[in-house]
Structure 1
Amino acid sequence: MATFTHKCPHCLTEHIALRIHPGQFFHSHRAGVHLDCPKCAMPSAALLQVVHGLGNNPRDWNEDDDVTDYFKVKAFWPQPPGPVIPENMPTDVERIYLQAERNLPIEGNEEAAGTMYRKALDVGLKKIDPDMKGMLAARIKKLAADGKLTVDIAEWADHVRDLGNDAAHEEEPPTREELTDLRNFTEMVMRYLFSLPALVQARKPKPAKPEK
């Protein structure tokens, strides 16, 4: 069957030849096509605008045609998942966290995502207390004891893989379940340390101006 090269919105493989299935519609110079990914076998759909060259009838397409150059994408479904970034993180923490979010959806990049979530935690905790030393779990408990994190978050840290170990020396990558737990935990810590304080500060009533 003919193919159209695009990013798969499910496995996030770039520049992959998505297979075009029967059931296309053509109207004027637009084409609606049903696609599937040869890597993950998940379906998608696209609304394409004819640019040049190829006829408007899919019956004219040969089985091995790559029709990418004859169309531009007007719309594509579904949209790839976007990163979820807690508000008001310091710039360098946000940069690291974004790398974790970009690696999270990609099968095979679990170690990369996990490493970046842990690094975001490490750098974020240093922003709150630069002198604090030790493993992540111990530092999180110290912040909870100081009232900067909740007791529930400190208890949660005991159940998140690698927070108390040197994860860089682990031979086995985290499972999807472990990575999701680490991601959820990291997001909650970031929101508690940076997002909520900024929100509270923004909503505090401003001091009344002194009367003249």
Structure 2
Amino acid sequence: MLFKPKAQDPRVPPGQTLTQKFPVLTYGPTPTVRAEEVRFQVWGQVEATKEWSWDELMALPQSDLTADFHCVTRWSKLEVQWRGVRVLDLMQQVQLKPEAKAVMLHCYGGYTTNLLLDDFLRPENLLAHTLFGQPIPREHGGPLRLIVPHLYAWKSAKWLRGFEFLDREALGFWEVNGYHRRGDPWKEERFSDD
């Protein structure tokens, strides 16, 4: 008797495998940052540099997001539940200069990754502090990480400390080291073509 192979879940991009676990992948040491130590900054191509303490971030409107999470190492976890501040809600307090074209995400520990504004200023993107109803564990990027669900997870920067707005695209850590500058999982943009 022949068995038809199970059709792939339409939420899973090509080349990805579903996992029930939530693997932890990090390059370099895992920073230790307590919530009360967070000083989140926005600078660069903005009319005024801004900074928020943890309490000030928590005073902003809070939103829930359930989204699929796709790692460039070929695993996907569906329906991950996050809570935090939507990027668009935070950006209501920031005035970008007309020259702003891209953003570099800066993290405690020195990690960076880049996004063009079209990928950054989307309604689903979230500065997350909660994962499945609990504070995000340190190994998953707590106390604060960005969630950019439409791109591979390396763009969802862990231990987030700020946004630097740029007048042109610059490459972050993994992008300089051979990863694709954008990272769309549906196009399998894993590595640079250059």
Task: Report which of the two has the higher share of helix.
Answer: 1
User: TM-score range with shorter-chain normalisation?
Assistant: under 0.3
TM-score by length of structure 2 reads 0.24
Q: Which has the larger radius of gyration?
A: 1
Task: Report which of the two has the higher share of strand.
Answer: 2
Q: Higher relative contact order by CA 8 Å / sep ≥ 6: 1 or 2?
A: 2
